[in-house]
Chain A
Amino acid sequence: MINLKGVSKKYSKDSVGLDNIDLCIEAGEFVSIVGQSGTGKTTLVKLLIAEEKPTSGTIEVGDWDITNIPHRHIPFLRRQIGVVFQDFKLLPTKTVRENVAFALQVAGESRHRIFDVVPKVLDIVGLSQKHDRYPHQLSGGEQQRVVIARSLVHRPKILIGDEPTGNLDSINTQEIIEILKKINEFGTTVLLVTHNREIVNQLRDRVVTLHDGKIIADEKEGKYRL
């Protein structure tokens, strides 16, 4: 599903995001990427959504080599990968429903399909009753659930969570992780970037540990070791 071969990302001579990493993630896996701040976790996410390009190596998502993806193809890649960000990245002037619908509108989906899909995904994340609220009228946990709903509208094969619980309390964190696990059970590959020890240890799934831009551990049923 995701295949990185010899991938490096250098910002300058002294600043290395990733250093010659190889990583293969199969379809349907739930993989936690852990590591301290500045070890390359966010760089990895940026490379997977083509926000940045690798300095060397190759990246494949599905059967698609996105190493040197042309600029005009990037929107199509992003419509196939759901991304949940730590800072939510919701459009402040759009309601919950409009934020979720926006991901479908940019893809040119019909109004009929939007009316059909949006209530369903809002129902999955338990926000049907708050569809007409603006982001600032929601709690952090609710905002993150809107982001998950938005990332699900295209039924993505891959869902990437970039520190999705970083701004949440423990109760909301647990709720978000439960939703991600449920999404994974439906067959979506989930890539969770986190430095939350409790969550990683609780998941008992594959854990990839990054340090100084290198993979220092990759365990099938791993634990948070740093």
Chain B
Amino acid sequence: MLSLLRIIKFALQDMFRNFSLSFMTVLILVLMLLSVNTFVIVNVITSQAVQTVKDQIDVSVYFAPDAPDAKIEEVKTFIDSFPEVTEIVYQDRAQVLAQFKEQHKDNAEIMASIDELGNNPLGPTMIIKTREPQDYEKVIMALTIPEYENIIEAKTFGDTQKAIDRIHVITTQVERFTMVISVLFAIIAFLIIFNTIRVAIYTQRIEISIKKLVGATNWFVRGPYLVESFIFSIFSLVFGLILTRLSLYIVDPYITIIFQKPNILTDYYTTNLLYLILVQFFVVLFLTLISSLFAMRRHLKV
């Protein structure tokens, strides 16, 4: 217990007496965490962009005006049984007509034609959304069976298939790209932290050997550096998160304009704050501890 208290005391003493070195170490860790958070932000924006594009895709099924309600209900139940389907919006004939009129209210010719017909020429519509763009093909194929040939007039399959395929390719590529960038980032972060700690310990190699020569055990020498690693991790995390939070206040309004959705980044950080703090803290702590132990190994052989 006495040794532990002394190790903590020496760590704090070393930190303040080597203030410039401690400051530079924390600064580099903060910069590293800021770049990690920049990467997180880019990832959130990319995911939001992909999601926005995905949300705009759906498949519309146009039923014949005389399609029986029971048959339509059967189709709805059938489609709903697909696990890939996330949403089905059904519009009956009256709703479809009202929407049609709303869309073409400025076109006098179309409005006059509708009035001349007297009755509603449009059938009900079903708008289907799935989890992934590639799921649409499966839904469309399932509906292309002889049993439904007479009740389904049209499906938007033919018009959107190419777009769906293209989006599928783009999202897959984006996901692969972000995965590669993530791995590269992890390697760069590790190298930065490792070298920062190594330089900090290298500058104190003579002190380490003196401590050993006056009878300090390896753990008594290592202890203060490990405690310093812990304190550096906390400081860098706090400063990193404060700066990230401040930058979110600046960036978020611009993101809102792009996606027409408020506080996307702030909400992401608020929802995942604990997770982000814990992951970043333990990763930085783990890297600084491992780097300290590794960098000290050679100097302890006295």
Question: A residues near B, CB below 8 A?
Answer: 49, 51, 71-72, 75-76, 78-79, 83, 85, 89-94, 102-103, 105-108, 110, 150, 154
Contacts and interface: CB of A to CB of B under 8 A. Distances in A.
Interface stretch (B108-116, B181-189, B215-223, B285-293): B215-223
B22 to A, nearest CB: 12
B261 interface: no
A108 B2 CA distance: 7
A89 B2 contact: no
Contact-size category for B: 20 to 34
B18 A103 contact: no
Contacts of A107: 215
Chain A binding site: helix, strand, loop or mixed by DSSP?
A: loop
B6 A93 contact: no
B14 A103 contact: no
A75 B2 contact: no
Query: Most chain-B CB neighbours within 10 Å: which of A49, A51, A105, A107?
Result: A105
A49 B217 CA distance: 14
A150 B214 contact: yes
Given A51-B302, A93-B14, A102 B3 contact: no
A72 B207 contact: no
17 contacts: A75-B216, A78-B213, A79-B215, A83-B213, A89-B209, A90-B210, A91-B207, A91-B211, A92-B207, A93-B13, A93-B207, A102-B211, A102-B216, A106-B211, A106-B214, A106-B217, A107-B215
Nearest to B13: A93
B298 interface: no
A-B interface, 7 closest residue pairs, ranked by CB to CB distance from nearest: A79-B215, A106-B216, A78-B215, A93-B17, A89-B210, A103-B214, A75-B215
A49 B213 CA distance: 8
Interface in B1-44: 2-3, 6, 13-14, 17-18
A78 B206 CA distance: 17
